[in-house]
Amino acid sequence: MPRGDVTALGHTARMVLVANGRDDVLALLRHGSGPRPRFDPGLAGGLRAWLEDAACAVVTARGEDAPALFLGPRRFFGAPASADVDADAEPFPPPLVTACLVHALFRQIVTTGAVGDPLRDGVDALSVEPSRAELVRHIGSLPEAEREALSASLAVQVQHLIDLTPRFAPGWLPRTHDRLAIPLAGGRVVLCGVFDLLVGAPVAGTSSLCAVGVTSGGPWARARRVLHYVALLETLRSGHPPFRLALLHAAAGRCRVEDVWEEHLGAVVSHLVQRLSEMAGAHV
């Protein structure tokens, strides 16, 4: 059993487990090798129907010919740490730069288990994505003092991630940056999200996956809700949510693990419906 403390958090009084190292995280994610939980087969359909109604209201308000509306966590839960930064004035606020590098380095840790020079490796990893070219140029143009501060921050966060990220056996099928895009209202509203890490083999009719999220800053509660949101998208994609979620806070070096419950998914859907209704109202 993991050494971590067991803490009850949140209004649902479900257990959130605190993991103190990568062995704890692995043990909590493994959760024994017994049968995985089964969810109501009608759950995904019910959640989708609820969302479809709200999405159709948005389409009605925007007009049938409006281009597809792609909505991600930022639209539903606000921006993370950089929320108070004017994007026009500063297209790459420091928290965003750090977050992008930390996520790139997390992928490297999962893939290879090691990081050399964090800043150099992070920039190298981002450089193979043309969509990150501007960010890479920005990092390259930082004054020496800012680069040193960034490098020092990354070194701390990377060490935390190395300490907390399990070494998954190949059979766990670890895959990073797994994108989800769930169309509603005939594709005119698309809910988007990304799993930082997904492990486990899909098994028909069973919740067999675990998801790991990484946050490099910002409110813990927001990061947790975003992880619940992506779990909802997985439910809509495959019919089943991941059965367990881990959230790694790279800056603080802590990790909490929790089961996914129908209440989590229902709470997220309720929030999305509320936000979609507000969007629809804003167009009327």
Smaller CB distance to other proteins: residue 75 or 107?
107
122 interacts with other proteins by CB under 8 A: yes
HSE, CB side, 13 Å, CA atoms: give it for residue 169: 7
Which of residues 16, 100, 125, 223 is near other proteins by CB under 8 A?
125
175 interacts with other proteins by CB under 8 A: yes
Span interacting with other proteins, options 29-37, 50-58, 117-125, 269-277, rule CB under 8 A = 117-125
237 interacts with other proteins by CB under 8 A: yes
40 interacts with other proteins by CB under 8 A: no
CB-based contact 265:231 (threshold 8 Å) = yes
134 interacts with other proteins by CB under 8 A: no
178 interacts with other proteins by CB under 8 A: yes
Question: How far apart are CB 37 and other proteins at their closest, in Å?
Answer: 17
CA dist 261 and 274 (Å) reads 20
130 interacts with other proteins by CB under 8 A: yes
Which of residues 34, 35, 63, 171 is near other proteins by CB under 8 A?
171
49 interacts with other proteins by CB under 8 A: no
DSSP 181-203: EEEEGGGTEEEEEEEEEEES--B
| Token duo for residue 101 | 């590098």
Which of residues 7, 111, 141, 274 is near other proteins by CB under 8 A?
111
Cβ neighbours around 152 below 10 Å, total: 12
- Segments in the chain forming alpha helices (H): 22-30, 43-62, 73-77, 94-112, 118-126, 133-140, 144-164, 220-238, 262-283
Question: How far apart are CB 94 and other proteins at their closest, in Å?
Answer: 21
CA dist 245 and 224 (Å) reads 9
List residues bridging with 6 in a β-sheet.
17
| Token duo for residue 29 | 């994610």
Question: How far apart are CB 215 and other proteins at their closest, in Å?
Answer: 19
Smaller CB distance to other proteins: residue 234 or 259?
234
Measuring CA to CA, how many Å separate 11 from each of 16, 42, 219, 273?
A: 12, 25, 18, 20
52 interacts with other proteins by CB under 8 A: no
65 interacts with other proteins by CB under 8 A: no
- The DSSP H or E segment spanning 6 is strand 6-8
Distance of alpha carbon 245 from the chain centroid? 10
64 interacts with other proteins by CB under 8 A: no
Smaller CB distance to other proteins: residue 126 or 232?
126
CA dist 227 and 244 (Å) reads 11
12 interacts with other proteins by CB under 8 A: no
Question: How far apart are CB 205 and other proteins at their closest, in Å?
Answer: 8
187 interacts with other proteins by CB under 8 A: yes
Enumerate binding residues for other proteins (CB under 8 A): 68, 70, 104, 107-108, 110-112, 115-116, 120-122, 124-130, 170-171, 173-183, 187, 190, 201-202, 204-205, 237-239
